[in-house]
Amino acid sequence: MSKYILALDQGTTSSRAIVFDKGGQIISVAQKEFTQIYPKAGWVEHDPMEIWATQIGVANEAIAKAGLTAQDIAAIGITNQRETTVVWDKTTGKPIYNAIVWQCRRTADICDDLRNRGYAEMIRNKTGLVVDAYFSGTKIKWILDNVEGAREKAERGELLFGNIDTWLIWNLTGGKVHVTDYSNASRTMLYNIYELKWDEEILEILNIPKSMLPEVKPSSCIYGYTTVDVIGGEIPIAGDAGDQQAALFGQGCYREGMAKNTYGTGCFMLMNTGEKPVRSKNGLLTTIAWGVDGKVEYALEGSIFIAGAVIQWLRDELRMIKSAAESEEYATAVEDSNGVYVVPAFVGMGAPYWDMYARGTIVGLTRGAKKEHIIRAALESMAYQTMDVLKAMEEDSGISLSALKVDGGAVANNFLMQFQSDILNVDVYRPKVIETTALGAAYLAGLAVGYWENKEEILNNWAVDRKFEPNMDEEKRAKLVKGWHKAVKRALDWEKEE
């Protein structure tokens, strides 16, 4: 019987498991949303045990749905929401605090302190990152400083840190393996992406014992084997990458200058820069794309914190729509947004603004503003934010993009895709398989165990579903973009003024 690859895609709002075949086609999917915990304004947490329970639950469900057993799975690939931080007790395997999510702003003051002490430049030079509450480093420090007894335990070597990939691999292997891959390590703000090692100086400044940190490995290799009790067999875990890097891999962006944009909870544009790390002058991050085929490759990244999440907000908090998909009907029921702009800076703004104190705003309201206009403006905000990032990327790389490959849940929205193409004035390509994050993790795992021979074989699997071409005149585009930038100014620095 032919074998399959299982990808575990642990995202910000749901745990997903997908079984792929050799053609990169989806055989079965299982997905489960889990609890978002907001203990205070600007704070976001997840329960690591719930993450593990939902993830292993959907993994078993996806195998069963496909009519398979663990013996039919050639390898497992892991991909994860990045930066989200778990600290657990090495002996009991129990987390000592909830996972602090990438969106959480609680460590903004630790970041301000790092900047005031003049460390921002050094950190950027070593890690490729902007000092921001987004990354894991200050989240680990917060846990050690605020959970009773944590620092002493950490110093005695009794605690382990991991991003969600590490946490899942630890649990899948029955607490035997404590590893991560280059791409995830590069999001901690503790990893020197040029020398490929944990950075002693930054660890000392943040007062984090090195013994807590996982071993850093390539993104495609065998890390360990699942235990029979969790999934019914000893399956090699052979792929690991942060979800955005996995999507870049899944989209087949293997050559320098190739880029993709993923529209999930947030929106993340990554451009492959090959074996050269490119330093951004325009607020982008330099990050590790992956370690594959014995070499490490880099990417430029524009991170947008809120994208599809603004649609969830319309659904869950404002209760303007019943489902995310419904947003398209409302948006196309009107000609334009009637001058309304939504800036969804709910957790500050990422690239290229990097303002931890920005907050969401709706501007341009008149008596004629309808619900349809607000919904449309919310969708448009994803496209405008992407435009800001793409401009920065073009300036940094010197490459002018003539087309953009897209993926992620929100690309199902045809209105959004057309508006994106109009606002960027480039072609937008939506592939047949939009689950490219999971697909990338599957490819990484499959390559490690010889399921796929090489990247060339994988490239043959990529197929376009629909191409969106720009259809907006320059004058209109310029007017809309000008309005967006005026709106962003209103959102910036908001929390600081208080």
Ligand X SMILES: O=P(O)(O)OC[C@H](O)CO
Ligand Y SMILES: Nc1ncnc2c1ncn2[C@@H]1O[C@H](COP(=O)(O)OP(=O)(O)O)[C@@H](O)[C@H]1O
DSSP letters for 446-493: HHHTTSS--HHHHHTT--EEEEE-----HHHHHHHHHHHHHHHHHHTT
How far apart CA 386 and CA 260 sit, in angstroms, is 11
Dihedral of CA atoms 204, 205, 210, 212 in degrees, nearest 10, equals: 150
What size, in residues, is the chain? 498
**267-274 and 285-292: which strand pairing?**
unpaired
Tell whether 312 is in a known binding site. Answer: yes
Q: Which is nearer to ligand X, 150 or 379 (CB)?
A: 379
22 versus 124: smaller Cβ distance to ligand X: 124
Q: Is residue 250 a contact point for ligand X (CB under 6 A)? A: no
Residue 325 binds: one of ligand Y, ligand X, none (C-beta under 5 to 8 A by kind): ligand Y
Is 45 annotated as belonging to a binding site?
A: no
Which residue among 15, 28, 55, 81 contacts ligand X (CB under 6 A)? 81
Measured at the alpha carbon of residue 171, what is the angle toward residues 165 and 175, in degrees to the nearest 5?
Answer: 115
Closest CB 332 distance from ligand X, rounded Å: 25
Ligand-binding site membership of 16 (annotated): yes
Residues that bind ligand Y (CB under 6 A): 11-14, 264-265, 308-309, 311-312, 324-325, 327-328, 408-410, 412-413
| Rounded CA separation 126/7 (Å) | 31
Residues 258-287 that bind ligand X (CB under 6 A): 264-266
Element spanning 247, H or E: helix 243-250
Q: Where are the alpha helices (DSSP H) in 317-370?
A: 326-332
- CA 262 to each of CA 172, 379, 410, 474: distance values in angstroms, whole numbers, following the listed order: 27, 14, 9, 26
Is 11 or 224 the residue whose CB approaches ligand X more closely? Answer: 11
Closer residue to ligand X, CB minimum distance, 154 or 300: 300
Question: Whose Cβ is closer to ligand X: residue 81's or residue 192's?
Answer: 81
* CB 102 to ligand X: min, Å: 4
Q: Does 138 bind ligand X (CB under 6 A)?
A: no
Is residue 350 a contact point for ligand X (CB under 6 A)? Answer: no
**E-strand spans in 355-426?**
361-363, 403-407
Q: Is 261 marked as binding a ligand?
A: no
State the binding partner of 410 from ligand X, ligand Y, none, CB within 5 to 8 A by kind. ligand Y
418 marked ligand binding residue? no
As measured in angstroms, the least distance from the Cβ of 34 to ligand Y is: 10
173 binds, among ligand Y, ligand X, none (CB under 5 to 8 A by kind): none
Long-range contacts of 111-117 (CB under 8 A, 24+ apart): 111/138, 111/356, 114/138, 114/205
Residue 211 binding: pick among ligand X, ligand Y, none (C-beta 5-8 Å cut-off by kind): none
The alpha carbon dihedral of 124, 133, 301, 395 has a sign of negative
How many residues touch ligand X (CB under 6 A)?
12
Interatomic CA distance for residues 336 and 433, integer angstroms? 30
Which residues belong to the annotated binding site for glycerol?
82-83, 134, 243-244
The residue ranges that bind ligand X (CB under 6 A) are: 11-12, 81-83, 102, 242-244, 264-266
